[in-house]
Protein backbone atom coordinates (compact mmCIF):
# COMPACT_ATOMS: atom_id res chain seq x y z
CA UNK A 1 0.00 0.00 0.00
CA UNK A 2 1.40 3.47 -0.85
CA UNK A 3 2.67 5.49 2.11
CA UNK A 4 0.16 8.31 1.51
CA UNK A 5 -2.75 5.84 1.81
CA UNK A 6 -1.77 4.73 5.34
CA UNK A 7 -3.90 6.07 8.19
CA UNK A 8 -2.42 4.14 11.15
CA UNK A 9 1.28 3.79 11.91
CA UNK A 10 3.24 2.25 14.78
CA UNK A 11 6.52 3.72 16.03
CA UNK A 12 8.93 1.81 18.27
CA UNK A 13 12.01 3.37 19.83
CA UNK A 14 15.12 1.51 20.95
CA UNK A 15 17.72 3.42 22.94
CA UNK A 16 21.38 2.48 22.63
CA UNK A 17 24.43 4.17 24.12
CA UNK A 18 25.08 6.60 21.26
CA UNK A 19 21.97 6.30 19.07
CA UNK A 20 18.20 6.55 19.40
CA UNK A 21 16.68 4.11 16.93
CA UNK A 22 13.11 4.38 15.62
CA UNK A 23 11.21 1.89 13.51
CA UNK A 24 7.94 2.94 11.91
CA UNK A 25 5.52 0.25 10.76
CA UNK A 26 2.31 0.22 8.77
CA UNK A 27 -0.67 -1.20 10.64
CA UNK A 28 -1.33 -4.86 9.84
CA UNK A 29 -5.10 -4.30 9.70
CA UNK A 30 -5.61 -5.74 13.19
CA UNK A 31 -4.13 -2.90 15.24
CA UNK A 32 -0.59 -4.33 15.38
CA UNK A 33 2.65 -3.39 13.58
CA UNK A 34 2.92 -4.78 10.05
CA UNK A 35 5.51 -3.94 7.38
CA UNK A 36 8.44 -1.67 8.22
CA UNK A 37 8.05 1.59 6.26
CA UNK A 38 10.67 3.86 7.86
CA UNK A 39 13.84 3.58 9.92
CA UNK A 40 15.64 6.34 11.85
CA UNK A 41 18.89 6.51 13.78
CA UNK A 42 19.39 9.74 15.71
CA UNK A 43 22.94 10.28 16.93
CA UNK A 44 23.10 11.79 20.38
CA UNK A 45 25.06 14.87 21.43
CA UNK A 46 25.10 16.56 18.02
CA UNK A 47 25.44 20.33 18.19
CA UNK A 48 23.09 20.94 15.25
CA UNK A 49 20.32 18.39 15.04
CA UNK A 50 19.89 16.54 11.75
CA UNK A 51 17.86 13.34 11.46
CA UNK A 52 17.54 11.17 8.35
CA UNK A 53 14.50 8.93 7.82
CA UNK A 54 15.24 5.88 5.66
CA UNK A 55 12.83 3.51 3.95
CA UNK A 56 14.30 0.52 5.84
CA UNK A 57 17.13 -0.62 8.12
CA UNK A 58 19.62 -1.02 5.25
CA UNK A 59 19.66 2.81 5.09
CA UNK A 60 20.13 2.58 1.33
CA UNK A 61 17.31 4.98 0.43
CA UNK A 62 16.23 8.19 2.15
CA UNK A 63 12.52 8.82 2.62
CA UNK A 64 12.79 12.19 4.36
CA UNK A 65 14.58 13.95 7.19
CA UNK A 66 14.68 17.09 9.28
CA UNK A 67 17.38 19.52 10.34
CA UNK A 68 17.57 22.42 12.76
CA UNK A 69 17.68 25.86 11.19
CA UNK A 70 20.07 27.13 13.86
CA UNK A 71 22.60 25.62 16.25
CA UNK A 72 20.53 26.87 19.19
CA UNK A 73 17.05 26.03 18.00
CA UNK A 74 14.82 27.85 20.49
CA UNK A 75 11.77 28.60 18.39
CA UNK A 76 13.64 28.71 15.06
CA UNK A 77 12.34 25.37 13.90
CA UNK A 78 13.32 22.40 11.77
CA UNK A 79 13.07 22.08 8.01
CA UNK A 80 11.58 18.78 6.82
CA UNK A 81 13.19 17.53 3.62
CA UNK A 82 12.31 14.85 1.11
CA UNK A 83 14.75 12.11 0.06
CA UNK A 84 16.42 14.47 -2.45
CA UNK A 85 16.94 17.27 0.09
CA UNK A 86 14.05 19.50 -1.03
CA UNK A 87 12.01 21.29 1.66
CA UNK A 88 8.52 19.81 2.09
CA UNK A 89 7.53 21.40 5.40
CA UNK A 90 8.73 22.54 8.79
CA UNK A 91 7.95 22.16 12.47
CA UNK A 92 8.89 24.11 15.55
CA UNK A 93 8.31 23.85 19.25
CA UNK A 94 6.37 26.67 20.90
CA UNK A 95 8.61 27.20 23.92
CA UNK A 96 6.33 29.66 25.70
CA UNK A 97 3.31 27.33 25.61
CA UNK A 98 5.56 24.32 26.25
CA UNK A 99 6.39 25.59 29.73
CA UNK A 100 3.11 24.02 30.87
CA UNK A 101 2.16 21.69 27.98
CA UNK A 102 4.47 20.72 25.10
CA UNK A 103 3.19 22.39 21.95
CA UNK A 104 4.36 21.99 18.34
CA UNK A 105 3.51 23.78 15.09
CA UNK A 106 3.72 21.84 11.81
CA UNK A 107 3.51 23.48 8.39
CA UNK A 108 2.93 21.94 4.96
CA UNK A 109 3.13 24.23 1.90
CA UNK A 110 -0.30 25.20 0.55
CA UNK A 111 -2.10 24.04 3.73
CA UNK A 112 -3.10 25.88 6.93
CA UNK A 113 -0.71 25.21 9.86
CA UNK A 114 -1.27 22.37 12.32
CA UNK A 115 -0.84 22.76 16.08
CA UNK A 116 -0.22 19.82 18.39
CA UNK A 117 -0.11 19.66 22.16
CA UNK A 118 -0.30 17.17 24.98
CA UNK A 119 -3.81 15.85 25.47
CA UNK A 120 -3.69 15.88 29.28
CA UNK A 121 -2.52 19.03 31.04
CA UNK A 122 -2.28 17.05 34.31
CA UNK A 123 0.18 14.54 32.80
CA UNK A 124 2.09 17.44 31.21
CA UNK A 125 2.60 19.11 34.59
CA UNK A 126 3.46 15.79 36.25
CA UNK A 127 6.15 15.18 33.60
CA UNK A 128 7.75 18.52 34.41
CA UNK A 129 7.73 17.85 38.15
CA UNK A 130 9.22 14.38 37.53
CA UNK A 131 12.37 15.98 36.09
CA UNK A 132 12.97 17.97 39.28
CA UNK A 133 12.65 15.15 41.82
CA UNK A 134 16.13 14.11 43.06
CA UNK A 135 17.21 10.47 42.53
CA UNK A 136 14.50 9.70 39.95
CA UNK A 137 15.07 12.42 37.37
CA UNK A 138 16.96 9.98 35.11
CA UNK A 139 14.32 7.26 35.33
CA UNK A 140 11.74 6.93 32.54
CA UNK A 141 8.52 8.82 33.09
CA UNK A 142 6.07 6.19 34.39
CA UNK A 143 2.93 7.52 32.68
CA UNK A 144 1.79 7.40 29.09
CA UNK A 145 1.31 10.68 27.28
CA UNK A 146 -0.47 11.60 24.09
CA UNK A 147 -0.39 14.42 21.55
CA UNK A 148 -3.25 15.68 19.42
CA UNK A 149 -2.54 17.71 16.25
CA UNK A 150 -5.31 19.82 14.72
CA UNK A 151 -5.74 22.09 11.72
CA UNK A 152 -8.36 24.86 12.02
CA UNK A 153 -10.07 23.06 14.89
CA UNK A 154 -10.25 19.70 13.11
CA UNK A 155 -8.16 16.72 14.20
CA UNK A 156 -5.31 15.96 11.77
CA UNK A 157 -3.42 13.23 13.59
CA UNK A 158 -2.52 11.92 17.04
CA UNK A 159 0.57 10.36 18.59
CA UNK A 160 -0.31 8.03 21.50
CA UNK A 161 2.28 6.45 23.76
CA UNK A 162 1.06 2.90 24.42
CA UNK A 163 3.60 1.63 26.94
CA UNK A 164 5.07 2.93 30.19
CA UNK A 165 8.69 1.77 29.99
CA UNK A 166 9.38 1.15 26.30
CA UNK A 167 8.54 3.89 23.83
CA UNK A 168 5.89 2.38 21.57
CA UNK A 169 3.50 4.78 19.87
CA UNK A 170 0.41 4.53 17.70
CA UNK A 171 -0.04 7.31 15.13
CA UNK A 172 -3.54 7.83 13.75
CA UNK A 173 -3.93 10.12 10.74
CA UNK A 174 -7.31 11.65 9.92
CA UNK A 175 -6.23 14.33 7.42
CA UNK A 176 -6.00 12.86 3.92
CA UNK A 177 -4.14 15.93 2.59
CA UNK A 178 -1.36 15.64 5.16
CA UNK A 179 1.96 14.37 3.78
CA UNK A 180 2.76 11.18 5.71
CA UNK A 181 6.49 12.05 5.64
CA UNK A 182 5.70 15.15 7.72
CA UNK A 183 3.73 13.03 10.18
CA UNK A 184 6.64 10.59 10.59
CA UNK A 185 9.15 13.45 11.07
CA UNK A 186 6.93 15.15 13.66
CA UNK A 187 6.24 11.88 15.52
CA UNK A 188 9.99 11.16 15.78
CA UNK A 189 10.55 14.75 16.99
CA UNK A 190 7.84 14.44 19.66
CA UNK A 191 9.95 11.70 21.26
CA UNK A 192 13.51 12.62 20.26
CA UNK A 193 13.32 16.36 20.95
CA UNK A 194 10.82 16.32 23.80
CA UNK A 195 13.29 17.41 26.48
CA UNK A 196 14.64 20.36 24.45
Taking only the tens place, the pLDDT of each residue in 80-132 is 999 999 999 999 988 776 665 689 999 999 999 999 988 755 554 555 455 55
169-189 residue pLDDT tens: 999 999 999 999 999 999 999
- Quick check: 79 and 90 in contact, CB under 8 A? yes
> What's the pLDDT at 130?
52
Helix (H) or strand (E) holding 192: helix 180-192
pTM equals 0.85
Amino acid sequence: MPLQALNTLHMHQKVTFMVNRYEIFADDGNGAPGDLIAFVEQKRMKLKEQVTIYTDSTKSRELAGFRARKMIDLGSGYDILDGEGNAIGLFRKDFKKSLTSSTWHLEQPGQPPITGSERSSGIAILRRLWNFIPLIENLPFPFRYHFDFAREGKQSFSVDKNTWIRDHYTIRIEDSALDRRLVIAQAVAVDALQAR
